[in-house]
Amino acid sequence: MSTIDGTALVKAGGATFHVDVAGHGTPVLLVPGAGGDARQYAELAQVLAQKHTVVAYDRRNNGRSPQQPDWSKTSVDQHAGDVIALLETLGTSPGVVFGNSTGALIALAAALKAPGRFTGVVLHEPALLGVLANPDDAMATVQPVIAAGVEAGGLAGGAESFVQFAAGDAAALLPPDFLEGLRTNARVLLEAEFGSFSSWRPEPEALAEMSLPLTILSAEQTAPFFVEAAQWIASTAGVSHRTVPGGHMGFPNHPEEVAQEIDAMS
């Protein structure tokens, strides 16, 4: 299912990625959101590895992946290209791709670019701000959190405050080394990814014509704008949208429930 088993640095698509591969079975790729680090999926990957070959990776310029000279400019499409290049390099057979928050945007963009690489798509709490009726309301929710963090601890404090806020009740379960990596790469999140990712949206026609099985998940404890974004994707694609326990990053404290949704795609 993959050319590696365990942990490795993998060169693909002009960048180098820290990759974790575990388990055996049908492949599942986990695309991380803010912070871009596979360690946020530790509990979910452990559950999935009982039935699947789980590929989790640190996104370009994030986590344990080496920082590239081009870190200050990026896009959802660039990261989607990374997903496709990484899977081709690893030699995995087609499988399910899962993404949370901005990782859901990357997973969706990759599936639209190369549907043959996947057997299904699971989007958890997609941060698709570009389709909201009032996107400024969403930004007004998070900007004070980031600003307070920056005032207290610079960009590192702003990045950590944002992710702690997004994680909600699951924040206590985020690994300390993940949080340290987030602080180290805070400029990537706040200066390169945040603005670029928030403006991305898929072409409605492409989404409506998507032939891959698609699951859209919202969390029980989440902000209304995440529900609005999920409903837009579901309505445009002509699929249903379901609710799972937890908050915006509910997979550390509810890995079994999220894994069940991924299992249903396999």
Q: What is the pLDDT of residues 227-237, one digit of tens each?
A: 999 999 999 99
Q: pTM to 2 decimals?
A: 0.96
CATH of the domain at 34: 3.40.50.1820
Which residue shows structure tokens 């999920």?
230
Structure tokens at 49: 């590895």
Mean pLDDT of 140-168: 95
Q: What is the pLDDT of residue 139?
A: 86
The total of structural domains in the chain comes to 1
Domain that holds residue 141: 6-263
Mean pLDDT of 215-223: 96
Tell me whether residue 110 is exposed, middle or buried, using C-beta atoms within 10 angstroms of its C-beta: 0 to 12, 13 to 18, 19 or more: buried
In the structure, what pLDDT confidence band is assigned to residue 205 with cuts at 50, 70 and 90? very high
Structure tokens at 212: 């891959």
Residue 1 covered by a domain = no
Residue 191 covered by a domain = yes
What amino acid occupies position 124?
H
Which residue shows structure tokens 């870190």?
71
**65 in Cβ contact with 16 (< 8 Å):** yes
Torsion of CA 154, 156, 160, 163, to 10 degrees: 100
**Residue 179 scores a pLDDT above 60:** yes
